Chains A and B, each alone.
Chain A
Amino acid sequence: MTPYDNYDIFPLGTQAILIRWAPREHSQFLPYLLAIKNRLVLHFEVEVVHTYAQILLKMAPSPAVLKQLKKLLDQEIEPLANKSVIHHIPVCYDLEFGLDLNAFTKAKQVAPQTIIDWHCAPRYTIAFLGFLPGFPYLTGLDPRLHFPRKKKPAFNIPKGAVAIGGSQTGIYPQESPGGWHIIGNTPIRLFDPKANNPSPFSPGDQIQFNPVSFSKYNTIAQKVARGTYDLKTTQS
């Protein structure tokens, strides 16, 4: 049995088709999911949305399409190559930005610096974008940082907020209501609808958070405002 053959196909009304894989370890499965997604996009040339273990095709589930889809899903597939882009995201964890950091450290009973170290240590993988334009869903959060979402969502989470909700961490590309705990902020621009490529992120890319001081944050913010800041990316 291959990691990807345990799926079902679900017609979502008459406008879309959903493919669901059985629950599995998301970061292990992602390279397969992305390879399958690429194959389906190439073949059907329709809009495709994926999350951790589901793919949605925006097309009518006709018998002919479903038959073709099953054939494509049952073919052998190589997971997408492990080599990927790493985005280095500067984050200021000062309390001016980490609005919930005090409450967070109290609940975890560790020093703020420990929270920052734990948050900056892993290299996160972007599983998909959703929720808000350009919002990356990341896998790889240290289990010691898992923390239930707020019971009552905050009305205004600021643009650039770096936050933790449940077992997930993410960055808010724009101001929004939300139930995650804000621990820092990045000055970089994560979504620009006027750009050819509105988001610098693609699923499968990796993210490294780098802690920066308040003054460094401001220097970068000024460069971003002038359009002279280049997001640092490297190859793994």
Chain B
Amino acid sequence: MNGLIVIQPGFWTSVQDAGRFGYAHLGIPQSGVMDRSAMAMANGLLNNRPDAAVIECTLKGPVVAFEKDTHFVITGGGVTADCAGKAVKHSAVAFAKAGDHLNIGAVSRGSRVYLAVAGGIMTEKVLGSRSMYAPLTAPKLEKKDFLPIGRSRYGAIKGAKLKSIVSNISGDKPEALCLKVFKGPEYQWLSLDQRQALLRPNNVSKYLNRMALQFEKKLQHHMPDMHTAPVIPGTIQCTPDGSLIALLYDCQTTGGYPRVLQLTSESLNSLGQLQADDKVYWELLS
């Protein structure tokens, strides 16, 4: 069987697909790739199924070895990568020969880079998904892990389709990101002044992972305690000490803090590329 071998795992590298559905009632998170547009582009370029599993690399990429000749793509955040010593172009199909090592460096723009292979990563599904999440799977890839690759369908597409996908590559990262939000279920608990303060420009704190992202500026408030209630990726909670926490794809299914805002899916996706100190401002949709 064709596959990849992990030579060096990088900082936090995991297999992710579109997510795990149908098990939220057991307390199982949705998981799946953090930057959906990067995954869509990578799979599109390779003529994979749109939900084919990819490798998500955070901050510092891995070194992997290809068992057989393989087409692959790197998308998402900015990064330098080389395959058998030759530079790999971002967001373009590249080719590795059997035995070649692909070395993905430190992420220089954004925070997550995606490696997709023609045929998709075909690790074993757990509860309907290949997305890695402990304790369902190992938390992340380790040295010597073997990742099977499916059958390539690359080559069956023509240039026209490729061009339309490539033209969607986002430009350089803007100075500050505009996050579009809806009111959350407990938004009404805030006073008018607090609602204004909530939507002040903010910064990403150093507390961020696949579960959640905490913002730097806190919100002074007097909201009461509440009972545990359902949450979804994109829900922004406000803790008793005023910390604002955006829940991401590995978040719990229930939470006990007031849900003050809800991100649009597009804004949720853009959070996947933020890093500590990045600036955000808000646009409240009706």
Contacts and interface: CB of A to CB of B under 8 A. Distances in A.
Interface of A: 10-16, 18, 20, 23, 26, 47-56, 58, 128-135, 137, 174, 191, 193-194, 198-199, 203
Contacts of B228: 51-52, 130-131, 137
A56 B262 CA distance: 14
13 contacts: A13-B265, A14-B182, A23-B227, A49-B253, A56-B230, A58-B232, A128-B254, A130-B27, A130-B252, A133-B26, A133-B135, A198-B23, A203-B25
Given A11-B182, A48-B24, A133-B26, 12 more contacts: A14-B264, A15-B232, A20-B185, A23-B227, A49-B254, A51-B228, A55-B230, A58-B24, A129-B25, A131-B252, A133-B136, A193-B127
B207 to A, nearest CB: 14
B129 to A, nearest CB: 11
A47 B21 CA distance: 8
B232 A51 contact: no
Contact of B254 (A12, A130, A203): A130
Contacts of B182: 11-14
A21 B86 CA distance: 61
B135 A191 contact: yes
A95 B77 CA distance: 50
Secondary structure of the A contact surface, majority rule: loop
B258 interface: no
B223 interface: no
Given A20-B185, A49-B253, A193 B136 contact: yes
A193 B27 contact: no
Contacts of A133: 26-28, 135-136
Contacts of B253: 49, 130
Contacts of B234: 13, 15
Interface in B262-279: 262-265
Nearest to A199: B26
A56 B27 CA distance: 13
Contacts of B26: 129, 133-134, 191, 198-199
A131 B254 CA distance: 6
B126 A47 contact: no
A134 B27 contact: yes
Q: Chain B, interface size: which category?
A: 20 to 34
B155 interface: no
Contacts of A198: 23, 26, 28, 127
Contact of A129 (B27, B184, B232): B27
A21 to B, nearest CB: 11
A170 B185 CA distance: 27
Nearest to B234: A13
Interface string B56-97: 000000000000000000000000000000000000000000
B227 A52 contact: yes
B126 A193 contact: yes
Interface in B8-42: 21-28
A57 B151 CA distance: 36
A133 B134 CA distance: 10
A201 B209 CA distance: 30
B48 interface: no
B235 interface: yes
B229 interface: yes
Nearest to B261: A13
Contacts of A132: 27, 252
A193 B24 contact: no
Nearest to A15: B265
Contacts of B24: 47-49, 58
B126 A135 contact: no
A193 B184 CA distance: 32
A232 B234 CA distance: 40
Contacts of A18: 185, 230
Given A56-B232, A130-B252, A193-B126, A49 B185 contact: no
